[in-house]
Amino acid sequence: MRRSLTDDQRRDWLRLARTETIGAVAFDQLIARHGDAGKALEALPALARRAGRAAPLGTPSPAHIEAELEAGRRLGARLIACVEPGFPHLLAVLDPPPPLIWALGRAELLERPGIAIVGARIASAAGQRFARDLARDLGAAGRLVVSGMARGIDAAAHEGSLATGAVAVLGGGVGDVYPPENRGLYERLAVEGCVVSECPPSYRAQARDFPRRNRIISGLSRAVVVVEAELKSGSLITARLAAEQGRDVLAVPGSPLDPRSRGTNNLLRQGAAICEGADDVLRLLDTLPGLGESERDPPAPFADEPSRALRDQLEGLLSPTPVTRDELVRVTGAPVGEVMAALLELSLAGRAELMPGGLVVSG
């Protein structure tokens, strides 16, 4: 159910989202368990202690939260929670969605389902021209184009769609321009398009932030087109995330002599649709069923207090290799609510990490 948050509620949401060890999954489960962020914040110390955490959780102070809000206001950005009307619907139905995003520019563009165009940073001239022309043609057909403002294919996609609707998702915060040579493009996107980030304003991106950015790129989109990508590429992460989210993946075929075509050609072998122009994308979209038109299912109900024995058993079952929550329920034989509650407490104590898609790894 969409609703508008009060200023105090939005501060609580932001404070909970910025708390140490709390990612999107834990945030989602805490809101489901306690009803609102303020009550979740009150419950955090006891939940973490039950799973063996001795040190207090790193929860930002109210002054720290006010500083982030003021930084966003100075930039002219808008903070939108995932339950609010202005939050992009395709992103809101992810399991789980990002708790909040900062949006700078024409935030109304986010209400349109997008098509992502991503690819190599060190892209060929032909690949950049293809991405620019594809974005222009999709924009002319009324489609929003989403990309990540990186060098190469991303920048070309933004350039081709600025006149019709362009969204850039950043690895850092709004106000952090990376790469520096894209400053002119960033300034245009911040006025003519929309710049989006899950991070605090002006936060400088680190390598670990880009997979999270890629999840938002695919989450905003009905389909993802990969133009050029080597076999080990962030663009292929975006394609994998898109498939996990139920989005369609298209790939542009390329020469087997060019390493930048190996990733896209491999996507085609794995069943991605071929993209040789905007008609291929539009034709595929015409055949897709409605996506994200209903609210997502709420998390399973929680037990009030799982046993220490169950927490210890679950921790022993975890490893760096992801395992599904359903498998942990099967192995332990415990009720779903007890397993969910125990995993949440372990994650708050830093002894487990809850991942999108129902996966869990050791902390």
Domain boundaries, the chain: 7-103, 111-287, 308-362
What is the pLDDT, as a whole number, of residue 313?
A: 95
Amino acid at 352: A
State the Cα–Cα distance between residues 48 and 345, nearest whole angstrom: 6
- C-alpha to C-alpha distance for 232 and 77, rounded to whole angstroms: 34
Structure confidence at residue 305 (pLDDT): 80
Written as tens digits, the pLDDT of the chain (363 aa) is 688 899 999 999 999 999 999 999 999 999 988 989 999 999 999 999 988 888 888 999 999 999 999 999 999 999 999 999 999 999 999 989 999 999 999 999 999 999 999 999 999 999 999 999 999 999 999 999 999 999 999 999 999 999 999 999 999 999 999 999 999 999 999 999 999 999 999 999 998 899 999 999 999 999 999 999 999 899 999 999 999 999 999 999 999 999 999 999 999 999 999 999 999 999 999 876 555 444 566 665 666 688 889 999 999 999 999 999 999 999 999 999 899 999 999 999 999 999 988 899 998
> How distant is the alpha carbon of residue 203 from its chain centre?
16
Q: Minimal CA–CA distance to 195: which of 108, 91, 105, 109? A: 105
Query: Are the C-beta atoms of residues 346 and 53 closer than 8 Å to each other?
Result: no
Q: What angle do CA 23, 300, 40 make, to 5 degrees?
A: 45
Residue 14 near residue 83 (C-beta atoms within 8 A): no
Cβ atoms within 10 Å of 273's Cβ, excluding its own: 16
Assign domain 111-287 to its CATH architecture. Answer: 3-Layer(aba) Sandwich (3.40)
Distances (CA, A) of 284 to 177, 181, 268, 274, 341: 34, 35, 15, 10, 41
CATH code of domain 308-362: 1.10.10.10
